[in-house]
Amino acid sequence: MIILFDLDGTLIDSTEAILESFHHSFAVYDFSVPDDEDIKALIGHPLDVMYRELGVQDELVWDFVNTYKEHYRKISTQKTILLENAKEAVERAAEFASLGIVTTKTGKYSQVLMEYFGLMKKFDVLIGREDVQNPKPNAEPILKALEKFDTKNREIWMIGDTQMDLLSAKNAGVNSIGVLSGYDKEETLKKFTNVIFHDSLEAVNYLKSRKSLHY
C-alpha cells in the first residue's frame, strides 16, 4: 500500500504562521489586511491563487508571495504544531505502507518542518509547490510522487482535509480519504469522497484494517 498525506490541516496546523505571513505581506505593501476567515477559506490553494482571490493585482502577486515566503521561513517552526494524533498516524502508517507527502506548500520549507518534528525519515518522497507546474487539484503532484514508488498491484490512497486533495486524487485515479482536522467542512468533503474520518490516525487505522482484510 502507498499512502500520500497532505500537510496543512492533515498532519500539521500552521494557521498562525500562515495568517501572520499574510498580515506581514499586506503591511509591507501598505494594503489593508483581509479578514482572517477569508484567508483561512483559501488555505490549500497555491499562494499566488490566494493573493489573487484576496484582491491583489496580477503584477504584484509574486512580490506578495516572495514577501510571504521570506517571513514564513523565519517563523514556521515556532508557529506550527503537529495536529493531535498526527505523529502516531505517520508512525503507524509506516509500519504497513510506503509514505509520501503531497502539499501545495513550498517543499523546501515543508521538509524543514517535518525534520523539525522528527518525521521526515518516515517518508520516501515530498512533493511541494516548486516541484510541479500544476498544483492540486491537478493530478500532477500525486503522479509525480508516485514516480518514486513501484505502484504495481498496490493500493494507493491520498489523505487530505480539503477538496483540493480529493480532486487531485480523483484526477490521478487514486483513492482518497477526507479528514475533518483541517479547513474544509464535512459537507464539502462528502461531494468528493465517501470515506471521511475525524483525523489522520482514524484514516490510517481504517487503511490498516483494509490491508489486513486483503492479505
Look up the CATH number of the domain holding residue 36: 1.10.150.240
Q: Which of 31, 51, 75 is the last residue of a domain?
A: 75
pLDDT digits over 46-68, tens only?
999 999 999 999 999 999 999 99
Residue 187 in this model has a pLDDT that exceeds 70? yes
How many beta carbons lie within 10 A of that of residue 113, not counting itself?
Answer: 21
Q: Both 43 and 71 in a single domain?
A: yes
Average pLDDT over residues 72-94: 96
Q: Both 90 and 70 in a single domain?
A: no
Average pLDDT over residues 147-155: 95
Share of the chain above pLDDT 70, in %: 99
Q: Note the pLDDT of residue 44.
A: 86
Burial of residue 120 (number of CB atoms within 10 Å: 0-12, 13-18, 19+) = middle
Q: Both 111 and 67 in a single domain?
A: no
Q: Both 88 and 123 in a single domain?
A: yes
Q: Both 9 and 91 in a single domain?
A: yes
Q: From CA 139, how far away is CA 70, in angstroms rounded?
A: 28
Q: Both 169 and 64 in a single domain?
A: no
Query: DSSP letter string over 127-180?
Result: E-GGG-SS-TTSSHHHHHHHTTS--TT--EEEEESSHHHHHHHHHHT-EEEEET
> Which residue's entry shows cell 474520518?
197
Q: Both 144 and 157 in a single domain?
A: yes
SS3 of residue 215 by DSSP: coil
- What single DSSP character describes residue 121? G
Tell me the catalytic residues.
6
Q: From CA 28, how far away is CA 8, in angstroms rounded?
A: 25
Q: Which of 29, 60, 75 is the last residue of a domain?
A: 75
Q: From CA 40, how far away is CA 176, in angstroms rounded?
A: 22
Q: And the C-alpha cell for 20? A: 501572520
Q: And the C-alpha cell for 53? A: 482571490
Q: Both 66 and 133 in a single domain?
A: no
Q: Note the pLDDT of residue 155.
A: 95
Q: Both 122 and 159 in a single domain?
A: yes
Q: From CA 162, how far away is CA 168, in angstroms rounded?
A: 10
For residue 97, the domain's CATH number is 3.40.50.1000
Q: Both 116 and 201 in a single domain?
A: yes
Phi-psi region of 33 (alpha: psi -120 to 50; beta: other; left: phi over 0): beta
Mean per-residue pLDDT over the chain, rounded? 95
Residue 192 in this model has a pLDDT that exceeds 70? yes
Domain count, the chain: 2
Q: Both 46 and 127 in a single domain?
A: no
pLDDT digits over 105-146, tens only?
999 999 999 999 999 999 999 999 999 999 999 999 999 999
Residue 215 in this model has a pLDDT that exceeds 60? no
Residue 214 in this model has a pLDDT that exceeds 70? no
Residue 210 in this model has a pLDDT that exceeds 90? no
For residue 61, give its domain range: 15-75
Q: Both 20 and 6 in a single domain?
A: no
pLDDT digits over 19-41, tens only?
999 999 999 999 999 999 999 99
Residue 179 in this model has a pLDDT that exceeds 80? yes
Average pLDDT over residues 169-180: 98
Q: Which of 75, 93, 126 is the last residue of a domain?
A: 75
